[in-house]
Amino acid sequence: MTTFRWYLLGILVLFGGYVALEYYRPKPVDWTPTLSSKDKIPYGTYVVYDGLPQVLGTDSVVGVRQPIFNQLLGTEEPQLQAGRPENVTFSDDSEAPADSATSDSLATEARQAAANDQAAAETETATLPLVATRANYLFIKQDFEASRLETAALLRFVAAGHDVFIAAEDFGSNRRGFLADTLGISTYEADTTSRSLVPQLGRPTPHDSVQLHLLRTRPGLATTDFRFASAVAGYRLALAARRPHQGATLAADAQGRPVLLRLDHGRGHFYLCSVPLAFGNYWVLRPRTADFAFAALSYLPTGRPAWWDEYQKQGRAGEQSVLRVIMAHPALRAAYYLLLVAGVLFVLVEARRRQRVIPTIKPLPNTTLLFARTVAGLYQQGRNHSLIAEKKVALFLDYLRTRFHEPTPDLSDEAFRERLSQKAGLPRPRIDELIRFINFARTAPTVTDRELLILSRAIHDFKVESR
């Protein structure tokens, strides 16, 4: 296995170890107050939703993922006409009451306008049939919102003998507060010190906790007093001075301020709670606070089907998918799948059509000169240049055979010397001197640097002058 493969294997092992470490590492606790039935985090409502069939004595507990208007009337919510009707009158028992602090003429006009809007909504929904089954409708959310038509549908639903349980810190008093205006209720923040939803370790002190008390108890409760963190039970319910509905306070704090109310409407009831976070998993699983949520839900009639609203927390079923419009139509769905298959085929075919890149092979470099220098360096290290001298003499004799056509030169022959002198155009003494240097290099036991240099210069000069 090559070194690169070892490096690649090491990187893969490290990556796999990092993934395993991140997967098995304990995840931090999520304290987000979702109040959703699918969440098992501290402020989810999985435990309450799971125990709801036992509390209400029914096996029919359904999570609702559609708006209130659709659930109660079985159709989409229409759009109300702009403006308020001017030919609608009301009796005194149906007017939205004013708060004691805002009982001036402007507040009266505001109440009358809200009542007119509610009457218009009721007129729009009066022709649509409600569901016939007696049921309990539950809303547990920090901010409850209902449009005019949804409020009218809820009022008709409760008046027909059904019950609605709403736990929220804000009933829409500032925006879309049609139900709050009709029932004459509002919420306000109590004087609490702590604002953190994360419970502190240790026993809560009176400065950072709130004690709630059940005024009308049910049999089987171990206690009627429950202590919550101040940030969890930080809101109270307020009733208008002239409220159109009768009811009772079911739970309050130590100062007597209500946190759980029952309002009678027709043959049914509204149950309103201002501490929705008390229904979270964290407080329901604690032994000292678990009974509060189940006791509040136990006021609902038993044996009826229960509708648990998840629309205001999760939206419609399947709404999180970005492809929900495509998947909802068979033609678009088939086109989408066809596009995916065509894309995969295109990638496979295109990958096979493309030729692999041919690597560029560099030509081998000419290292003859480098080899000659290396060999010469090896000869020079011995300080005996007789071998180099013999090589030079052999090359010179080969030069004479090729240049002057002397196949078998005999350096001791006088006739050869004379011929070489005439062919080279050099005087006879020069030829004799060169042959003397050659004979010395061939017979001497050792050749020094100076003697090798003299022989090389003599051969070089002969070649140059003989041209």
Please give the Cα distance from 102 to 241 (Å, whole number).
10
Residue 140 resides in a domain: yes
Q: What is the layout of strands, in order, in the sheet containing 136-140? A: 61-64, 306-309, 136-140, 163-167, 268-273, 258-265, 247-253, 209-214, 225-229
Residue 142 resides in a domain: yes
Please give the Cα distance from 50 to 441 (Å, whole number).
112
Q: How many CB atoms lie within 10 A of CB 455?
A: 22
**Is residue 213 located within the same domain as residue 71?**
yes
Give buried/exposed letters for 205-222 (b at 16+ CB in 10 A, else e). eeeebbebbbeeeeeeee
Structure tokens at 213: 């008390």
**Is residue 378 located within the same domain as residue 229?**
no
Structure tokens at 229: 């963190």
**Is residue 103 located within the same domain as residue 249?**
yes
Q: Which of these three, 320, 341, 357, is where a domain ends?
A: 320
Residue 349 resides in a domain: no
**Is residue 149 located within the same domain as residue 223?**
yes
Residue 429 resides in a domain: yes
Please give the Cα distance from 298 to 165 (Å, whole number).
11
Structure tokens at 330: 């068979």
**Is residue 314 located within the same domain as residue 407?**
no
Residue 331 resides in a domain: no
Alpha carbon 278 to chain centroid distance? 30
| Predicted local distance difference test score (pLDDT) of residue 355 | 64
**Is residue 162 located within the same domain as residue 305?**
yes
Structure tokens at 194: 């702590």
Q: Is 298 exposed, middle or buried (0-12, 13-18, 19+ CB in 10 A)?
A: middle
| Predicted local distance difference test score (pLDDT) of residue 30 | 85
**Is residue 191 located within the same domain as residue 248?**
yes
Q: Which of these three, 303, 320, 337, is where a domain ends?
A: 320
Q: Are 136 and 163 in contact (CB under 8 A)?
A: yes
**Is residue 299 located within the same domain as residue 376?**
no
**Is residue 238 located within the same domain as residue 306?**
yes
Q: Which of these three, 252, 285, 320, is where a domain ends?
A: 320
**Is residue 309 located within the same domain as residue 389?**
no
Q: Are 300 and 136 in contact (CB under 8 A)?
A: yes
The parent domain of residue 41 ranges over 26-320
Q: How many CB atoms lie within 10 A of CB 237?
A: 21
Residue 357 resides in a domain: no
| pTM of the shown model | 0.60
- Percentages helix, strand, coil for the chain (3-state, rounded to 5) are 45, 15, 40
Which of these, 134, 457, 87, 96, lies nearest to 300 by C-alpha position? 134
Phi first, then psi, for residue 140 (nearest 5°) are -125, 105
Q: Which residue has 């026993």 as its token pair? A: 203
User: To 10 degrees, what angle do helices 449-465 and 386-403 make?
Assistant: 10
3-state secondary structure of 105: helix
Residue 343 resides in a domain: no
**Is residue 378 located within the same domain as residue 295?**
no
What are the 10-residue block averages of pLDDT along the chain, 467 residues in total? 77 91 85 90 93 90 89 72 33 32 40 52 56 84 89 91 93 71 87 63 60 77 81 88 77 91 92 94 90 91 91 76 79 92 87 71 86 76 77 90 84 87 90 90 85 90 86
Identify the H or E element spanning 158. helix 148-159
Q: Are 44 and 280 in contact (CB under 8 A)?
A: yes
The dihedral region occupied by 412, where left means phi > 0, alpha psi between -120 and 50, and beta the remainder, is: alpha
Q: Which residue has 């290292």 as its token pair? A: 367
Identify the H or E element spanning 247. strand 247-253
Structure tokens at 55: 């509390």
Q: How many residues does the chain have?
A: 467
How many domains does the chain fold into?
A: 2
Q: Are 34 and 44 in contact (CB under 8 A)?
A: yes
**Is residue 264 located within the same domain as residue 383?**
no
Phi first, then psi, for residue 206 (nearest 5°) are -60, -20
Residue 339 resides in a domain: no
